[in-house]
Amino acid sequence: MPPLVEFRAVTFAIDGHVILNAFNLSIEPGETLVLLGRSGSGKTTVLRLINGLLFPTRGAVFVEGRPTTEWDPIRLKRRIGYAIQDIGLFPHFTVGANVGLVPRLEGWPPERIGARVDELLRLFELAPSEFVTRYPRQLSGGQKQRVGIARALAADPDLLLLDEPFGALDPVTRVEAQRQFRNLASSLHKTTVFVTHDVREALLLGTRIVLMRGGEIDTDVAAGAFRNAGTSEAQAFLSCLEP
Amino acid sequence: MWEEIGRLTLEHLVMTLIAIVSATAIGLPAGVLVAHQRAYRPWLVGFASVMQTIPSLALFGFLIPVPFIGGIGKRTAIIALVLYALLPILRSTLAGIQSIDGAVLESARAMGMSTAQMIREVELPLASRSILSGIRIAAVTTIGTATIAAAIGAGGLGTLVFRGLATVDTQQILAGAVPAALLALLTEGGLEWVERRVGSR
């Protein structure tokens, strides 16, 4: 199968400041690719280039074989589920309306949207009868984050982009969320690109780990092989695992 | 006397209403525009600000000789009132949209909302409280300014005030000023109530 997403010699710069430098990456269908790296290493920029929130300064990003610049920008975004780092739930929409947003924009009939919302909330262990009519301000941090991922999944996209989805959670909730996500990922069969700066999370959730450093790829290995990676940046991240 | 007060109050109210509806019809879209197009911002906000700095009596005077929109009477007065009411409505629309959490706008864009959908479903609802408070401020000041419009023959409660001033008749002045003040207070209270209802959603 051809790669779902392919970066070919992508450079991205803002005001002469280079964020990604001659970046090459192929994302294969079905994998959970973790983009690991320090703050400012360009991880979020990679996600934003995939769904057309940004376009390359040089080079091209191909999604399903077509450069993002040739996609209808709205079609492209609706085909991809994206949970941004700050979640960004609509405060004036109920949980149900938040999760059902993309299906509604896509013109699904209301019964089908309702059924899909219920299905997703149940999947994330949020009882529909209790949560559908709640507003985001009535949710805990962990619940908000789950609603954010449910919203990204709503229109059943083939590709899911998750930007530090568990970043704002307390350590205990975080571990629970990671475990839940791992069980979920194996049953959903989605291609997922997952951004984190937590090496533990990368090893737990990824099938492949791409370690970024200063806008370039430092290490690109199967998750199981990451512990043997030899670069100094990989060693720096692995040293976080020692108590 | 009472009959005249009633008639002039109604006239005053209609003049204010037309001015506020028109100012909202112009100021609200202009506010949305400058929220999206940074380049227009200094021009439009600057224009509305300059209008507000001109003393009202002078503005009414300036408009009289202008062809098509000028002359003596209601039309000229309403145009001047619209120019005054623009700034608070434009400003509050812009401020309301600017105060929206950036993450909300980014997620809206990331999920593939068109610009029109973002304005309709995200920006206007979330800015509604700020926009309403701008309209309230505009309405209350317009009721006050509209009394001065009587100076160019626009009618309204200012008619009694100016007649009273000319004849040094305090009762006559109060017959115009008190209803105008009551009108302003009622408008303030009523629109504040609407704002609270919208805000508590």
CATH of the domain at B126: 1.10.3720.10
Residues of chain A with pLDDT under 70: 243
Chain B nearest CA to A83, separation (Å): 8
Stretch B59-85: mean pLDDT: 86
pLDDT in tens, B81-104: 999 999 999 999 999 999 999 999
Q: What pLDDT is attached to residue B140? A: 95
Q: Confirm or reject contact between B113 and chain A (CB < 8 A).
A: yes
**Distance (Å) from the alpha carbon of A147 to chain B's nearest alpha carbon:** 13
Higher-confidence residue of A169 and B39: namely B39
Cβ of residue A156 closer than 8 Å to a chain B Cβ: no
Give me the interface pTM, i.e. the ipTM.
0.89
Is the Cβ pair B110, A82 closer than 8 Å? yes
> Quick check: B50 pLDDT over 80?
yes
Q: Which domain holds residue B158?
A: 2-200
Selected residue with higher pLDDT from A1 and B160: B160
Task: Tell me whether residues B114 and A74 touch, CB distance under 8 A.
Answer: yes
pLDDT at residue B125 above 70?
yes
Nearest CB neighbour to A102, from listed B112, B114, B126: B112
Chain A residue with the nearest C-alpha to that of B110: A77
Asked if residue B88 lies in contact with residue B126, where contact means CB atoms within 8 angstroms, the answer is no
User: How many folded domains does chain B comprise?
Assistant: 1
CB-nearest partner of A84 from B103, B112, B126: B103
pLDDT of residue B201: 53
Instruction: Give me chain B's average pLDDT, please.
Output: 91
In the sheet with A66-67, reading across from the earlier edge strand, the strands are: A17-27, A5-14, A58-63, A66-67
A87 touches chain B (CB under 8 A): yes
The pLDDT of residue B199 is: 67
The reported pLDDT for the residue numbered A52 is 94
Residues in chain B within 8 Å Cβ distance of A50: none
Top-confidence residue, A196 or B62? A196
Rounded to the nearest angstrom, the minimum Cα separation between A87 and chain B is 7
Q: What is chain B's alpha carbon radius of gyration, rounded to the nearest angstrom? A: 19
Contact B112 A78 (CB under 8 A): yes
With 0-12 / 13-18 / 19 or more C-beta atoms within 10 angstroms meaning exposed / middle / buried, residue A207 is: middle
Is A145 within 8 Å of chain B by CB?
no
Q: Which residues pair with A33 in a beta bridge?
A: A193, A208
How many CB atoms are closer than 10 A to CB A32? Answer: 22
Q: Tell me which residues of chain A, numbers 22 to 61, contact chain B at a CB-CB cutoff of 8 Å.
A: 51, 53
pLDDT band at B198 (very low <50, low <70, confident <90, very high): confident
